[in-house]
Chains A and B, each alone.
Chain A
């Protein structure tokens, strides 16, 4: 299956995503900040990056730009509690945009879609 990086400042969510996505058969890595996420993208090759937007320090949109700088073909799914960033040009660089939910059905579907592209 796929190598996935989850970037989210909330510890509980990182655990949840890691658990659920591992259950699906993926290998999951996590980062607790945009900075750490960018550093991990620089060091490793992921099939998908699941990226939160509102985080302390750099936000996810900024991180997205920097990830693209590291790897032009990096595939990012934005996973934010807010849908307002959908209108932001920077977010259009992501493959998909998922509004956060405790039900991970949509997120899992999008992961599968992005991997299969």
Chain B
């Protein structure tokens, strides 16, 4: 995926650019995972938090001036950033600065994505970057922003939107654009009822919510939008549609990795969280987090290595297509298609299938867990079953549309 950016990115360009990461999502559709934490702070992939992907993309791309706009329940996010992301050097002009609403321009929380920028115009003025990359803190993907930035400059664009093809049937959830042969965007509609497909295809071009703006245009458009009382102050809904006929707006197709289709997921719902988690376990994963060239950074607790052991009982330990984070311990149990996060314990005779166990989850002897997301610190007592009798589970837990059982943090089995 990495393009020869030494050739394509003019010198100083990255230093003249600031990344603004919108990390304020309340994540109501990820409830109860978001009961105690902001959406970008939700754990993912055994050791990460969702925001690690966007921040790693920034740092790996050479974008090291990062403003992080937060607002809801940011404590766990604060702690994570402090523990895992205190790596940039202010002396070198690099930073990750967290900005809750300053209430300098408005007396409310961030109302929409464009409003978050509006309320931070003062900070953009302080930095005066030539280009501003606007990113979302709750997407999972690997992407080098540098070639996108170079393309933006080459096109003399006001706005460049990263784009990905999606099946037409799913396109209603996205901003859908139409492009000409030069990838100039000639039409854009946010969450359209009847998405316009790519001519002759049953697919649409969707916006990933990854934007490169020329900062001056961004400021003008956001200020104009801020003065419209009827606006939701959202880029997709309000700002971008108004730019199409007025400014130079281009699409940048997200490149695939290792000749694969590009992989990008908006972790908007519990089902999409579960699906993206299991994507990590596929034999040839659509998103490869194992390449040294594109490390996904996070905070690593000092924990011992994972252990799979046999206690001499009848059941042999069996672990297939699963991630075992540090400190996990599987004893004579079966773990298939599952993610065991740090310090998760699965005891003798238990079976865990197609599930995500977060930190310190304990699965007792003989327990069977299937298609579940078990949040931190839950102790499933011996003999329990989760995910087998959904009617029973519905009386105890949230069960998603796709039948995924979600056990909230700290749940105590009676």
Q: Are B107 and A89 in contact (CB under 8 A)?
A: no
Q: Which of B32-40, B74-82, B223-231 contacts A (4 or more CB under 8 A)?
A: B223-231
**Which residues of B, 100-119, contact A by the 8 Å Cβ criterion?**
103-107
Interchain Cβ contacts under 8 Å between A and B, 10 examples: A65-B104, A66-B105, A68-B106, A68-B227, A88-B125, A89-B121, A89-B125, A89-B219, A90-B121, A90-B122
Chain A residues with CB below 8 A from B103, complex form: 69
- B124 proximal to A (CB < 8 A): yes
CA distance A26 to B124 in the complex (A): 37
Beyond A65-B104, A65-B105, A68-B105, whether A90 also contacts B226 by CB under 8 A is: no
- B260 proximal to A (CB < 8 A): no
Q: Interface range on chain B: under 10, 10 to 19, 20 to 34, or 35 or more? A: 10 to 19
Beyond A72-B226, A73-B227, A73-B229, whether A89 also contacts B124 by CB under 8 A is: yes
Chain A residues with CB below 8 A from B121, complex form: 89-90, 93
Chain A residues with CB below 8 A from B106, complex form: 68-69
Nearest CB of chain B from residue A3's CB, rounded to whole Å: 19
Q: When the two chains form the complex, which single residue of B107, B124, B223, B229 contacts A93, counting CB atoms closer than 8 Å? A: B223
Beyond A89-B124, A92-B219, A92-B223, whether A69 also contacts B105 by CB under 8 A is: yes
- B392 proximal to A (CB < 8 A): no
Chain B residues with CB below 8 A from A65, complex form: 104-105, 122
Residue of B nearest to A93 (CB): B223
A residues lining the B interface (CB < 8 Å):
62, 65-66, 68-69, 72-73, 88-90, 92-93
Q: Are A68 and B226 in contact (CB under 8 A)?
A: yes
- B396 proximal to A (CB < 8 A): no
User: At the interface, is chain A mostly helix, strand, loop or mixed?
Assistant: helix
- B220 proximal to A (CB < 8 A): yes
Extra A-B contacts (18), CB below 8 Å, given A65-B104, A73-B229, A93-B223: A65-B105, A65-B122, A66-B104, A68-B105, A68-B226, A69-B103, A69-B105, A69-B106, A69-B107, A72-B226, A72-B227, A72-B229, A73-B227, A88-B125, A90-B122, A92-B223, A93-B105, A93-B121
CA distance A97 to B166 in the complex (A): 46
CA distance A93 to B219 in the complex (A): 9
CA distance A93 to B105 in the complex (A): 10
CA distance A92 to B117 in the complex (A): 14
CA distance A93 to B107 in the complex (A): 16
Nearest CB of chain B from residue A59's CB, rounded to whole Å: 12
Chain B residues with CB below 8 A from A93, complex form: 105, 121, 223, 226
Nearest CB of chain B from residue A53's CB, rounded to whole Å: 14
Nearest CB of chain A from residue B286's CB, rounded to whole Å: 40
CA distance A42 to B228 in the complex (A): 18
CA distance A90 to B118 in the complex (A): 10
CA distance A72 to B225 in the complex (A): 10
Residue of B nearest to A95 (CB): B227
Q: Are A92 and B226 in contact (CB under 8 A)?
A: no
Report B336-359 CB contacts with A as 1/0, cut-off 8 Å.
Answer: 000000000000000000000000
CA distance A68 to B106 in the complex (A): 7
Chain B residues with CB below 8 A from A69, complex form: 103-107
Nearest CB of chain B from residue A5's CB, rounded to whole Å: 18
Nearest CB of chain A from residue B12's CB, rounded to whole Å: 20
Which 10 pairs, one residue from A and one from B, show the smallest C-beta to C-beta distance? A65-B105, A89-B125, A69-B106, A89-B219, A69-B107, A89-B121, A93-B223, A65-B104, A72-B229, A73-B227
CA distance A69 to B227 in the complex (A): 10
Chain A residues with CB below 8 A from B220, complex form: 92
Chain A residues with CB below 8 A from B226, complex form: 68, 72, 93
Residue of A nearest to B105 (CB): A65
Nearest CB of chain A from residue B107's CB, rounded to whole Å: 5
CA distance A89 to B229 in the complex (A): 21
Nearest CB of chain A from residue B373's CB, rounded to whole Å: 40
Nearest CB of chain A from residue B173's CB, rounded to whole Å: 30
Q: When the two chains form the complex, which single residue of A66, A72, A90 contacts B125, counting CB atoms closer than 8 Å? A: A90
Chain B CB within 10 Å — which of A62, A68, A88 has the most? A68
Chain B residues with CB below 8 A from A72, complex form: 226-229
CA distance A73 to B229 in the complex (A): 7
**Which residues of B, 197-256, contact A by the 8 Å Cβ criterion?**
219-220, 223, 226-229
Nearest CB of chain B from residue A84's CB, rounded to whole Å: 13
